[in-house]
Structure 1
């Protein structure tokens, strides 16, 4: 099937306007996830509050994650366009306030507001494109969105550094305004306004329970093993809070007439396996990638900027495979094989990367292996979203997509926590408690190159620790590939709206 023959629910010209707006708002939200990282030293120099610095990132992550299910459900009830307006306005207001912040506490609060908007932009973009095109088109255009995320992961820190050095760190927030306003206009022109005719009761209690429970769980995954020990009172208290609120949330969803997260979705094998596989993919990817720049610093003496740029082959592979994979689905109508093989290839490539790192292979070889890691992830991840969207009823499209986003975020947070725990375990085993603690509290993190300030035993310990995260990530992605094999092998047909698909004959 030619791309031009993909069924659309709006005229082609309106689709082009809508898709341009979707790409623009997604780019802004994706860039804002990590554009701030290179500006953090200058922010501390201007505002102080070093002890609260991590909250500049954590506040954005928390609010963007917990708000996703709310946007998904409310957009199912009241339409995508009004929720887009809310999300864009919150994002732009938060950006302006961040740029005007006069102390660290203000910046943290305003980053939270900005995250509330970004969570809607990311989720609603994936939902809206599923409204606009049929099953085959979803695979194609979700691939473009994955490419945007991959590009933003590289461009965000670089753009943040350029704006901070040439203008001010405040411009990493102000720059959203001249792009956000045109994006809002494009969304208003391109996204049709639809809503349910009935007015069901909103699940306010579920929203509160899920927000508190998810926030507590994310804080456990963010703080355990870093700020606090895993068995410390703060971590155990947060874990107990998460457990209680999430259990009560499930009870609430079972009895509510219009639940925030309908539990009947999990009765469907496509949704259940799809979100679980997506979560495993995020766990494996973050576990393997989190300390990859650290490995390049201690192994090859690269500075922080160069170490980040050395991930470009990985992200290039993701971008290429996400776009070509979508076109392959359009041509064949098949997704399952691409997802299974994509995760399998990335698992094998990560295993090769771990063995190669253990053997101290040259940088050029490792960069080549990273391309295959990216190709596998790019082939699988956008198509897992498409599988989920095509496996639910149209009335559940928003809540299913946002639930997938929530589990994906939780998977990423768990992957970060797993990587941190593995690295700490290896450092303690290699260097002892005193040696590992000295590394964590020392001043090497701000150096141009860690390899120039660490001792030989410390470098060897770091290398061994990161190799373990590579192999653990490979194992998790391999498990995801096996789990993905349990998806029904449906052939996607050219329909403009989501319907359950029959097995291919």
Structure 2
């Protein structure tokens, strides 16, 4: 039952991420402000990236089940506000709900299966996410063409209630502590959390708004980018001196850890920017409806599902994954390069091929990077390591969407 619950949470989060991709054009037509459209995706990722390490610490202090329930409830509230939003700004602010779902699922999964079997089960989770990415564009397109884009958010409500119902029947280990709630909250590195969140916001915001709402040589851009570097340096300084840092220095004892985090950052940038705008690409270049664009993007999802399941089985049986870290980016680069040559006269087989190649490359490393990260740290650091890896992945996605959105707006 617990595995079913974890799969449902993954489906819920992934479906929400990609169902909106086919609705961007409809949202812009309805409430305007195209220059803010990239924020619909990146606002969720920015907030998730800033809060995910905190979820990892909260899970250690308060327990896995309470934090997972809290994350789902926050996600539901955000979906409700998005469904009734009357402005792009409201839609963006409401998109912050639900950060931490993915990392909490991976943390729980690492504790209930053996190291040898971890890659296989996380590959299955990746397949569930991939199936959601298949359904997301399809459902989003059908809702936009036959109803309204608001149903892309309304649809989350009943699914979220169902997941909460299943989760309430599952038993988790109880976190015992002789300290009061206030004392446990004081254990958290709040100064580090605030500094990290501000650093991410100050870095991504000028990338998102530069060239559209702000000139590149304007005061906000020239002020926020240098300040983000200062805040990152300040965050490192705070973490070295904190009693309970959200990102402990012991996490980096193994030399692979830092490299895997940089890898997750780059992977998030290329994967999310490609997946987020592909439906919009087919609607504009090929003049397709939202639902037809969702169908056209299906090969990307099929490629991702097949590679995620296959890589999980391979890593589980052979215990090796290094070759996948090379193969994944190669396939993604080839897929992106070939996509750039598509035009209104490109045959269907060419469209299918380039989408499948890109998705296949992403699937090879989507869950493999998490398994590698968990194997590179001590058992007591798995929760933190998983959260930090997810943070880098989402931060990369926010940066990627911001940069590509700026290119589109200019």
Please indicate the TM-score interval, normalised by the length of the shorter structure: 0.7 to 0.9
Q: How does 1:92-111 map to 2 (within 5 A)?
A: 92-101=76-85, 106-109=90-93, 111=94
Indicate yes or no: 2:328 matched with 1:342.
Answer: yes
Distance 1:336 1:94, change over 3 A: same
Choose from 122, 128, 133 the match for 2:102. 122
Deviation for aligned residue 1:73: 1.7
Structure 1 runs (4+) greater than 6 angstroms displaced: none
Helix, strand or coil at the partner of 1:253: helix
Equivalent in the alignment of 1:405:
390
SS in 2 for 1:190: coil
Higher relative contact order (CA 8 A, sep 6+): 2
* 8 Å Cα contact 2:140/2:290 also seen in 1: no
Deviations 1:38-89 (A, max 9, x none): 556666787x574796355454333233221110121123221111121122
From 400, 411, 416, the counterpart of 2:401: 416
Paired residue for 1:284, among 270, 275, 278? Answer: 270
Matched residues in 1 for 2:50 and 2:347: separation? 42
Pairing partner for 2:208 from 219, 222, 230:
222
Contact 2:119 2:371 in 1 (8 A): yes
Can you give the 5+ residue segments of structure 2 that lack an aligned partner in the other structure? none
How many residues of Structure 1 are paired with residues of Structure 2 in the alignment?
402
In structure 2, C-alpha distance between the alignment counterparts of 1:211 and 1:300, rounded to whole Å: 39
Name the CA distance, whole Å, in 2 between partners of 1:208 and 1:186.
33
- Tell me which residue corresponds to 1:142: 122
CA distance in 2, matches of 1:369, 1:81: 41
Find the structure with the greater CA-based Rg. Answer: 1
Q: Is the 8 A contact 2:8 2:163 kept in 1?
A: yes
Q: Match of 1:175?
A: 155
1:364-375 superposed matches below 5 A: 364-375=349-360
Are residues 1:391 and 2:376 paired? yes
Partner of 1:327: 313
Give how far 1:203 is off.
0.7
Instruction: Tell me how large the CA RMSD over aligned residues is.
Output: 3.3
* CA distance, structure 1, for counterparts of residue 270 and residue 18 of structure 2: 20
Q: Is the 8 A contact 1:52 1:104 kept in 2?
A: no
User: Quick one: structure 1 residues 289 and 44, their matched pair in 2 at CA, closer, same or farther if it must change by over 3 Å?
Assistant: closer
Please say if residues 222 and 413 of structure 1, whose CA atoms lie closer than 8 Å, have aligned partners that are also in contact. Answer: no
Cα separation, 1, equivalents of 2:275 and 2:85: 32
Unaligned residue ranges in structure 1 (runs of 5+): 1-16, 425-439, 442-505
> Relative to 1, partners in 2 of residues 1:74 and 1:295: Cα closer, same or farther, differing over 3 Å?
closer
Q: Matches of 2:81 and 2:48 in 1, distance apart?
A: 17
Alignment of 1:296-311 (within 5 A): 296=282, 302=288, 305-311=291-297
1:230 and 1:76, CA in 2 relative to 1: closer, same or farther beyond 3 A? farther
* Equivalent position of 2:62 in the other structure: 78
Which of the residues 108, 132, 144 maps onto 1:152? 132
Aligned to 1:29: 13
Cα deviation, residue 259, structure 1: 0.1
Aligned residues of 1:31 and 1:155 also touching (Cα < 8 A): yes
- Partner Cα separation in structure 1 for residue 87 and residue 366 of structure 2: 39
1:326 offset after TM fit, Å?
0.8
Report deviation, 1:407: 0.9
Distance 2:154 2:120 in 1: 32
